[in-house]
Amino acid sequence: MTTDIQKADQEILRIGAPAKSERKINTSSKPLIEFKKVTMQYPGRLAVREVDLEIREGEFVCLVGQSGVGKTTLIKLLTIQETPTTGEVYVAGRNLADLRSKEVPLYRRKIGVVFQDFKLLPQKTVWENVAFAMEVCGFSNAEIAKRTEKVLDLVNLGRRAKNYPHELSGGERQRVAIARALVHSPKILIADEPTGNLDPVNTWEIIELLYRIHQKGTTIILATHNRQVVDRIQKRVVLMKSGKIVSDQHGGKYVI
């Protein structure tokens, strides 16, 4: 655990250094994430149909499509909240279906997730919300204090540490959620409609933060149906329509 933290600290220190994304993404190596003919059948609803998708380390992927097309389902398959009806999901070469139940929590620490509704605990302060994510993973108090301070500084909320979520703006709340998602220095950060509840100013603040995190080397998956956001980011755009991927373009725009 300690080595992870140290590595993470180094990663954070790297912010401001030359952006990793400006280096060429290595397309010859094995993909970090791989969906192979994945189908997800809910009772009475086919949410994902034979999806093939590869995401390489260091990519910024916008997962777009109208409400109900299966974006969240795809994310749930990646966080092992659902298991595919058919097909396989590989992360770093490992089939997620093969993970033993004890390995699942450890796997989840490698992927950070943020949501439209933030999912903060209302009775905990900003600091406590972030520290909680490490407490329940068994880190020592000293490690937690050090790390919490770092990630809160990273999202620029060091001064709001003692505030409760209801005392913050929507954008600030989402930044707390992002800080929490970063405590384990995940390789992948998944954001499911993170700006869905935010006004334009706060939206850009969050997108800018995600971009910064991406620049230090984290793979980002951003599910959204906000056309302006997608068009402005100018990264890879994966478009879904009724459970299928209908287009996949680099430096793309949100086209229907």
- The verdict on 91 binding ligand ADP (CB under 6 A) reads no
User: Is 85 an interacting residue with respect to ligand ADP (CB under 6 A)?
Assistant: no
What, of ligand ADP, another protein, Mg ion, none, does residue 148 touch, CB below 5 to 8 Å by kind?
none
Q: What is the DSSP string of 172-206?
A: HHHHHHHHHHHTT--SEEEEESTTTT--HHHHHHH
Among 21, 72, 202, 218, contact with ligand ADP (rule: CB under 6 A): 72
Q: How far is the CB of 192 from another protein (least distance, A)?
A: 11
Binding of ligand ADP by 2 (CB under 6 A)? no
Helices (H), 112-252: 126-135, 141-154, 170-182, 200-215, 227-233
Which helix (H) or strand (E) element contains residue 3? Answer: helix 2-13
- Is 47:70 a contact under the CB 8 Å cutoff? yes
How far apart are CB 135 and another protein at their closest, in Å?
6
Binding-site size, Mg ion (CB under 5 A): 1
Residue 145 binding another protein, by CB under 8 A: no
Exposed e or buried b for every residue in 43-76, given b needs 16+ CB within 10 A?
eeeebbbebebebbbbbbbbbbbeeebbbbbbbb
Q: Is 71 in the site for ligand ADP (CB under 6 A)?
A: yes
Cα distance between residue 26 and residue 219, in whole Å: 13
Least distance (Å) between residue 149 CB and another protein: 18
Interacting span for ligand ADP (CB under 6 A) from 69-77, 84-92, 202-210, 229-237? 69-77
Cβ distance to Mg ion smaller for residue 62 or 161 = 62
The span of 13-21, 62-70, 154-162, 183-191 binding ligand ADP (CB under 6 A) equals 62-70
Rg (C-alpha) for the chain, rounded Å, is 18
- Percentages helix, strand, coil for the chain (3-state, rounded to 5) are 40, 25, 40
- Rounded (10°) CA dihedral 28, 31, 32, 37: 180
For residue 9, the number of C-alpha atoms closer than 13 Å in the C-beta half-sphere is: 13
H/E element holding 72? helix 71-78
Q: Which of 133, 220, 229, 240 forms a contact with another protein (CB under 8 A)?
A: 133
Which of 181/230 has CB closer to another protein? 181
- 164, β-bridge pairs: none
| Binds Mg ion (CB under 5 A): choice among 32, 62, 72, 152 | 72
Q: What track of x and - describes contact with another protein for positions 51 through 80 (by CB under 8 A)? A: ----------------------------xx
Quote the least distance from Cβ 192 to ligand ADP, whole Å: 7
Site residues for Mg ion per CB under 5 A: 72
